[in-house]
Structure 1
Amino acid sequence: MKEALVECVPNFSEGRDARRVEAIVAAMRVEGVRLLDWTRDADHNRCVVTIAGEPSAVLESAVRGVGKAVELIDLTSQEGLHPRIGAADVVPFVPVSGIKLEQCVMLARQAGLEIWRRFGVPVYFYEGAASRPDRANLDDVRRGQFEGLRDAVRKEAARRPDLGGPGLHPTAGACAVGARKFLVAYNVYFDSADVAVVRAIARDVRAAFGGLHGVKALGVLAHGRARLSMNITDFKSTPVSQVYATVSRLAMKHKTAPVEGELVGLVPEEACEREAEWMRQLIEFDDETKILERRLAAPLSWPGEGNSTNTGLANV
């Protein structure tokens, strides 16, 4: 029987202050937990941390990271391009080996309870851990963001948290905790700075608007260029090559074209299509640092021990 190995990919609403990000990551150091990746994005003002290990250790690591984020991040003065409802915005648990999605649901429920008990941050359960159909989709949970949700919970019982509340934490908001399969966080840059165009493409490719199955998309201006930021939540049903082909076709209608791509965080070997155009366009792609299986075998050292961050999208 394989040893149970679970991944967790918490997203925090801080991507501009490197010291704060490093403090959050450092707080997550727990015996038996491997640090696989941490990515900071100043435009989105968001960071994404990827850890893996034995389930109970990963749960404790994630909860400690939430606690440090609650201490350091004040949403009343935080702003960025990425939607968010919390200082620790989302905390998804992902089965890797020797564990099923249903067990990750239980981990998510336990983590949510600890987050509320220790820090007084109310919790919404989403995707596989959702207790209500209208909360399976993270976008529905985050509707209105921190500011809108803060007002909505006072007026609408249907918007109140699954744990805690009814009001949000005054500075840390709420935390969405879930269980899901692997996703591919994929950004595409265009030969244009026209944000309206990339937003139109995002709308057309997005599953919620009748686009591609399992695709979430957001159009933004990043580093002076139009960027399509996507989460591909079911790469087996909708391969990245299919997403790229659709985006290229839509871009042609707007007289633009994708010129570069990047992967944020890690990607399973199974999702890679070595001869595909989308992989040839990737910026600084390295198997040793971007392939999940390689990083599991050679994890990063924790902050203060010589490792550095990347920059990119935080859109999980």
Structure 2
Amino acid sequence: MLSKSLVLPLIVCCEEKISMSSSRLGLRLAACLLNISEARRKHIVENIAKAALLGKNGKKHPEVSVLNIFSDQDYNRSVITIAASIDELGNSVLAACLEAFRSINMEVQEGIHPCLGAVDLIPIYPLAGVGVEECGAVARSLAESLVLQVPGSSVFLFGEADLPQKRTLVQRRKQLGWFTRRDFSALEPDLGAAPARRCGLTGIGASPYVMNCNVTIDSQDLALGKEIASAIRGSNANGLKGVQAMAFPHEGKIEIACNVESFEDQEATETSEDSQYVAYSVLGNHFSYVSPRYIEAQVKKLAGDQGIGTVGRALIGFTPQECKNCAEYAIKESIGEFWKIRGGVFM
């Protein structure tokens, strides 16, 4: 896994080379953290990433970049970070999805991480110059295109794509049994026919940025891992706001896997990773999220209370600010395969 210490030098480099803000560049950027149910066949993952870069004429699109690819073999899951102008992101993600559905068969897929679809999750996040509502419109349009172009595909919607309810991803996953179910036959999609076993069910939506931050404890005790995950979960009265957490066996130890949501915070001011909360703004809207360092410190404390240590933290991809900075740089410099600068696919 890629540690934050390895990411920072590159981020600093990007920041130094961006001489103009995104607004002065005229960039209206969004990102998709495309979750696919494949990690063990490297060429398949790379082909899906490369498909995102090609326009209808087969040439690379200058306003699209694949910033990062994170693949975990135990989970058999990859997260591909695609950044693009908001006008191009939907087409780019659709192209990647078409390649993924051609290559991944849920009838034979195996992995520790819960999943329902070959393309399991398509979240779209605003980075610069766009709001979450516009990202929701792109997500809905993408969902409609997907079920038309991929026979057997089906979709559930969440966040700003799920109108009028705007149910969260966690709510939708609980309703659909995402955490435990592998039988697709009884699932009821929002779009498309009943899920075909090969394709499964795909979640598509939009929200403020959600990070993936994992902390590994030096133990094989899954019950202890679940206790720690429960303690830091935002739904717990004493938990961390915006954090969803699960515990999984991983590489002979237990990993506390966290989704870290950004939440609206009109009183927020710019802060650093050393704070409990980190603040940022998109299109004049103010957001905050729990710092990955603070999450690691809380896990370390809870594990330490049981005489257990921690053995590292992995940020899967970027913080919101890092994603924005790298997207601006990559698109300004027309670097489509930006992930290769970061050292390859398996980190």
1:125 aligns with 2:149: no
Which one is further off, 303-312 or 97-106? 303-312
Q: Secondary structure of the equivalent of 2:121?
A: strand
TM-score by length of 2: 0.75
- What is the letter of the counterpart of residue 28 of structure 2? A
Q: After TM superposition, give the deviation of residue 204 of structure 1 in Å.
A: 1.9
Structure 1: stretches of 5+ with no match in the other structure? 154-159, 270-289
Secondary structure of the 2:244 match is: strand
Shift of 1:3: 2.8
Which of 95, 109, 112 matches 1:81? 112
Counterpart AA for 1:79: E
- Seen in structure 2, the aligned counterparts of structure 1 residues 146 and 119 have a Cα distance that, compared at 3 Å, is farther
Within the candidate set 170, 185, 190, 2:217 is matched to 190
User: 1:199 and 1:111 mapped to 2: Cα distance?
Assistant: 35
Please list, as runs of the form range in 1=range in 2, the aligned pairs for 1:1-316 lying within 5 A after superposition.
2-30=26-54, 31=61, 32-120=63-151, 121-131=153-163, 133=165, 135-138=167-170, 139-140=173-174, 142-144=176-178, 148=182, 150-153=184-187, 160-165=188-193, 167-210=194-237, 211-234=239-262, 236-269=288-321, 292-294=324-326, 296-298=328-330, 301-302=336-337, 309-311=344-346
Structure 1 residue 212: deviation in Å?
Answer: 2.0
Aligned equivalents of 1:262, 1:123: Cα separation in 2: 30
Query: Cα offset for 1:208?
Result: 3.5
Q: Give the C-alpha shift of residue 145 in structure 1.
A: 5.8
Partner of 1:9, secondary structure, is strand
Cα offset for 1:11? 0.6
Greater mean alpha carbon deviation, residues 33-42 or residues 135-144: 135-144
**8 Å CA contact 1:134, 1:140 repeated in 2:** no
Gaps of 5+ in 2: 1-22, 55-60, 263-277, 279-287
Q: CA deviation at 1:131?
A: 3.0
Farther off after superposition, 12-21 or 240-249:
240-249
Structure 1 residue 151 displacement after superposition: 3.0
Query: What's the counterpart of residue 287 of structure 1?
Result: none
Cα RMSD of the aligned pairs, angstroms, is 2.6
Match of 1:81, SS state, is: coil
Q: Secondary structure at the match of 2:91?
A: helix
Distance 1:70 1:145, change over 3 A: farther
Cα distance in 1 for residues equivalent to 2:76 and 2:99: 17
TM-score by structure 1 length?
A: 0.81
Question: Quick one: which amino acid aligns to residue 252 of structure 1?
Answer: G
Q: Secondary structure at the match of 1:152?
A: coil
Percent identity, aligned pairs only, is: 26
How many matched pairs?
285
User: In 1, distance between residues paired with 2:180 and 2:91?
Assistant: 25
